[in-house]
Amino acid sequence: MSIQLIVFLPLLAAIVAGFGNRIIGNVPAKLVTTGALFISCALSWPIFLSFVSGNAVEQVVPVLTWVQSGDLDFSWALRVDTLTAVMLVVVTTVSALVHLYSWGYMDEDPDQPRFFAYLSLFTFAMLMLVTADNLVQMFFGWEGVGLASYLLIGFWFKKPTANAAAIKAFVVNRVGDLGFMLGIFGTFLVFGTVSIPEILEAAPGMAGSTITFAGMRWDTMTILCLLLFIGAMGKSAQLGLHTWLPDAMEGPTPVSALIHAATMVTAGVFMVCRLSPMFETSEVALAVVTIVGACTAIFAATVGLVQNDIKRVIAYSTCSQLGYMFFAAGVGAYGPAMFHLFTHAFFKALLFLGAGSVIHAMHHEQDMRYYGGLRKQIPLTFWAMMAGTLAITGVGILGVFGFAGFYSKDMIIESAFASGTATGQFAFFIGVLAALLTSFYSWRLMFLTFWGTPRWIQSEHIQHSVHKTPEEAGEDQTGGYHPHESPPSMLIPLGLLSIGAVFAGFLYYYPFTGAVEGAAFWGDSIAFNVGLMEAAREVPLWVKLASTVAMLTGLGVAFLMYFRGQDRPARLAATFEPLYKFFFNKWYFDELYDLIFVRPAFWFGWIFWKRGDEGTIDRFGPNGVAGLVATGSGVAKRFQSGFLYTYALVMLLGLAAAATWIIVRGAGA
Indicate the Cα dihedral angle 579, 584, 586, 587, nearest 10°: -20
Assess contact for 29 and 16: CB atoms under 8 A.
Answer: yes
pLDDT at 349: 93
Distance (Å, whole) CA 287 – CA 219: 15
**Which pLDDT band holds residue 416 (cuts at 50, 70, 90)?**
very high
Structure confidence by residue, pLDDT tens digits, 304-344: 999 999 999 999 999 999 999 999 999 999 999 999 999 99
475 pLDDT above the threshold of 50: no
Assess contact for 267 and 236: CB atoms under 8 A.
Answer: yes
Distance (Å, whole) CA 371 – CA 410: 32
> Which is it for strands 216-219 and 210-213: parallel, antiparallel or unpaired?
antiparallel
> Which of 364, 382, 363, 384 has its CA nearest to residue 374?
382
Structure confidence by residue, pLDDT tens digits, 579-603: 999 999 999 998 998 899 889 988 9
pLDDT at 262: 76
**Which pLDDT band holds residue 471 (cuts at 50, 70, 90)?**
very low
- Number of neighbouring beta carbons within 10 Å of residue 207: 14
Average pLDDT rounded to a whole number, residues 405-430: 95
> Which of 263, 256, 244 has its CA nearest to residue 165?
244
Distance (Å, whole) CA 296 – CA 435: 13
Higher pLDDT, 353 or 567: 353
Report H helices in 280-421: 283-304, 310-330, 334-361, 379-392, 404-418
Mean pLDDT of the chain: 89
pLDDT at 563: 83
Report H helices in 192-266: 196-202, 220-235, 244-247, 253-261
161 pLDDT above the threshold of 80: yes
pLDDT at 159: 87
Backbone CA torsion sign across 411, 416, 417, 419: positive
Distance (Å, whole) CA 14 – CA 541: 51
467 pLDDT above the threshold of 70: no
**Which pLDDT band holds residue 468 (cuts at 50, 70, 90)?**
very low
Assess contact for 493 and 95: CB atoms under 8 A.
Answer: no
Task: Count CA atoms within 13 Å of residue 367 on its CB side.
Answer: 9
pLDDT at 462: 54
160 pLDDT above the threshold of 80: yes
516 pLDDT above the threshold of 80: yes
Share of the chain above pLDDT 90, in %: 63
Three-state secondary-structure class, residue 252: coil
**Which pLDDT band holds residue 633 (cuts at 50, 70, 90)?**
confident
Backbone CA torsion sign across 185, 527, 332, 544: positive
For 210, the enclosing helix (H) or strand (E) is strand 210-213
Assess contact for 424 and 416: CB atoms under 8 A.
Answer: yes
Task: Count CA atoms within 13 Å of residue 536 on its CB side.
Answer: 29
157 pLDDT above the threshold of 90: no
pLDDT at 476: 46
pLDDT at 73: 83
pLDDT at 481: 60
Residue 309 β-bridge partners: 367
Assess contact for 525 and 83: CB atoms under 8 A.
Answer: yes
473 pLDDT above the threshold of 60: no
Helices and strands of the chain, counted as H and E runs: 31, 6
DSSP 57-119: --EEEEEEEEEEETTEEEEEEEEESHHHHHHHHHHHHHHHHHHHHHHHHTTT-TTHHHHHHHH
Residue 64 β-bridge partners: 76
pLDDT at 466: 44
Sorted by sequence, the CB contacts under 8 Å of residue 121 that are 6+ apart come out as 10, 11, 14, 18, 144, 148, 151
Assess contact for 40 and 96: CB atoms under 8 A.
Answer: yes
62 to each of 75, 76, 129, how far by Cα in Å?
A: 7, 6, 15
16 pLDDT above the threshold of 70: yes
- Number of neighbouring beta carbons within 10 Å of residue 217: 9
> Which is it for strands 396-397 and 401-402: parallel, antiparallel or unpaired?
antiparallel
Q: Residue 374: left (phi > 0), alpha (psi -120 to 50), or beta? A: alpha
pLDDT at 1: 64
Distance (Å, whole) CA 123 – CA 129: 10
Predicted model pTM: 0.89
Exposure string for 625-643, b = 16+ CB within 10 A, e = fewer: eeeeeeeeeeeeeeeeeee
Distance (Å, whole) CA 558 – CA 301: 14
